[in-house]
Amino acid sequence: MRIGVAILVLACAPAAAQQAQVNLDWNPQKNTQNLAPYGANVISPEVRDDGTVTFRVRAPRAQEIMLSAPTISAAFGRADKPVPFIKGADGVWTLTIGPVPPNIYVYKFQIDGVNVPDPNNTLTGFADQPAYSQLVVHGSGPAYYDARNVPHGNLTRHVYHSAALSGEREMYVYTPPGYDGKKKYPVLYLLGGSGELASTWALDGRAAFIEDNLIAEGKALPMIIAMPNNQVVHRSDPKHTELTFKLFEAELRQNIIPLVEKHYRVRADRGGRAIAGLSMGGRHAQLVGFKCLDLFASFGILSAGDPDSEKSTPEFLNNPDTNKKVDYLFVGLGTREDLPTNRSVVFHQILDKHKIRHEYYAGGNGAHDWATWRHLLYAKFLPGLWRGKS
């Protein structure tokens, strides 16, 4: 059977390498000592240097166990199709796949038809959606999104009251290494997608490590990255689209931007502010950001873009001064999203039609997932900010 790669059943064979699960590892699931995680009864997942991965679950009474791994399937350009485990005489079900390209993937088990995270995996997702597990397939060294031996910035959690939303909110703010309170920094307001939390860009998206590494490589300018919770209406609310954009604009103006500008030394001019987001956050960056040119001059639309932009943001598209007002506009999507009907593709064509200057890019070998959004952040968007006109 296949999941974009060959399915094998292999015996456990630990490899000799640095010890995992002790440091902030770039290869946390490479089991060099054949030790089960604390509190687990089997090792799962186990990642080897050749990219093969073994999943295990002890469930002697189960009738069927399947692997659901849409992000792995996406990396190979295939639809997610659950793959069966094999049950051993000891009640341990086992499945080995591979080789899987280095990256971070999301997966679940289907145990007798019920979706559950891997009960033995210590790495789980950080989002406002049903639980999932993370698989880290390592390369020969730390990836662009890993903690490397470079200067690191700080990540601060702010909890504040929002009158606009009638409740307590949170926001994470990254300050670059060597943050100098006497210097004014540009600010990127970075937004998540449906079901994300304020922390998800930092945890799943690795935004802080990515910016640390880019600064160390001389590829991006030091900046402050504010990561608010842009979930302002329950995503399943039937009036979500009707309500969310006005509420989020109010939250930006009344709370998010004032908090950042009160607590940090930042540029308070529109040229020093950028807004970007993935998926639903990209719609916020467009449908709110494009209407707030008094606040922002740079924009990142990741795996998003309204195909009805000529109706939703006509002032932006038809204003002869738009190109003068926009310093940088980036539209990006994953390799596996790059289809003629994709909303990012259609949005790019609309921008071209109206002669709106922008950078357009598809890459990363991912689909609508974090493999894409981490790559877009590192490869194009952060390096492009505050470098002059796009």
pLDDT in tens, 307-346: 999 999 999 999 999 999 999 999 999 999 999 999 999 9
Give strand pairing partners of 53: 47, 97
Domain count, the chain: 2
Q: Cβ neighbours of residue 96 under 8 Å, at least 6 residues apart?
A: 7, 8, 9, 10, 52, 53, 54, 55
Q: What are phi and psi of 85, to 5 degrees?
A: -85, 170
Residues 266 and 352 both lie in one domain? yes
Of 104, 137, 170, which closes a domain? 137
Question: Cβ atoms within 10 A of the Cβ of 365, count?
Answer: 16
Mean pLDDT (the chain, rounded): 92
Asked if residues 313 and 306 have their Cβ atoms less than 8 Å apart, the reply is yes
Per-residue model confidence (pLDDT) at position 58: 97
Residues 174 and 272 both lie in one domain? yes
Residues 188 and 251 both lie in one domain? yes
Residues 57 and 168 both lie in one domain? no
Per-residue model confidence (pLDDT) at position 20: 63
| Residue 145 domain flag | no
In 127-186, DSSP assigns E strands to 133-137, 154-162, 167-175
Residues 256 and 297 both lie in one domain? yes
| Residue 1 domain flag | no
Per-residue model confidence (pLDDT) at position 9: 34
> What is the rounded CA–CA span in Å between residue 340 and residue 278?
19
Of 137, 168, 192, which closes a domain? 137
| Residue 282 domain flag | yes
Burial of 187 (0-12, 13-18, 19+ CB in 10 A): buried
| Residue 72 domain flag | yes
Q: What is the pLDDT along the chain (390 residues), one digit of tens a residue?
A: 334 333 333 333 333 344 566 788 899 999 888 888 888 999 999 999 999 999 999 999 999 999 999 999 998 888 888 999 999 999 999 999 999 999 999 999 999 999 999 999 999 887 888 889 999 999 999 999 999 999 999 999 999 999 999 999 999 999 999 999 889 999 999 999 998 999 999 999 999 999 999 999 999 999 999 999 999 988 788 888 888 999 999 999 999 999 999 999 999 999 999 999 999 999 999 999 999 999 999 999 999 999 999 999 999 999 999 999 999 999 999 999 999 999 999 999 999 999 999 999 999 999 999 999 999 999 999 999 998 764
Per-residue model confidence (pLDDT) at position 78: 82
Residues 347 and 283 both lie in one domain? yes
Residues 37 and 161 both lie in one domain? no
| Residue 389 domain flag | no
Q: Cβ neighbours of residue 304 under 8 Å, at least 6 residues apart?
A: 277, 278, 279, 280, 281, 282, 283, 285, 286, 343, 344, 347
Residues 114 and 189 both lie in one domain? no
Asked if residues 207 and 225 have their Cβ atoms less than 8 Å apart, the reply is yes
| Residue 260 domain flag | yes
Mode of pairing for the β-strands spanning 7-8 and 92-97: antiparallel
| One-letter amino acid for residue 258 of the chain | P
Structure letter (DSSP) for residue 338: -
Of 137, 169, 202, which closes a domain? 137
> What is the rounded CA–CA span in Å between residue 36 and residue 174?
34
pTM above 0.85, yes or no: yes
Cα-atom radius of gyration of the chain, to the nearest Å?
22
| Residue 347 domain flag | yes
Residues 128 and 248 both lie in one domain? no
Asked if residues 266 and 272 have their Cβ atoms less than 8 Å apart, the reply is yes
Residues 100 and 203 both lie in one domain? no
Quote the domain boundaries for residue 133.
7-137
| Residue 390 domain flag | no
| One-letter amino acid for residue 118 of the chain | D
**What is the CATH classification number for the domain harbouring 102?**
2.60.40.10
Per-residue model confidence (pLDDT) at position 128: 81
Asked if residues 327 and 297 have their Cβ atoms less than 8 Å apart, the reply is yes
Residues 273 and 314 both lie in one domain? yes
Asked if residues 227 and 172 have their Cβ atoms less than 8 Å apart, the reply is yes
Asked if residues 255 and 162 have their Cβ atoms less than 8 Å apart, the reply is yes
**What is the CATH classification number for the domain harbouring 371?**
3.40.50.1820
Residues 333 and 196 both lie in one domain? yes
> What is the rounded CA–CA span in Å between residue 95 and residue 84?
7
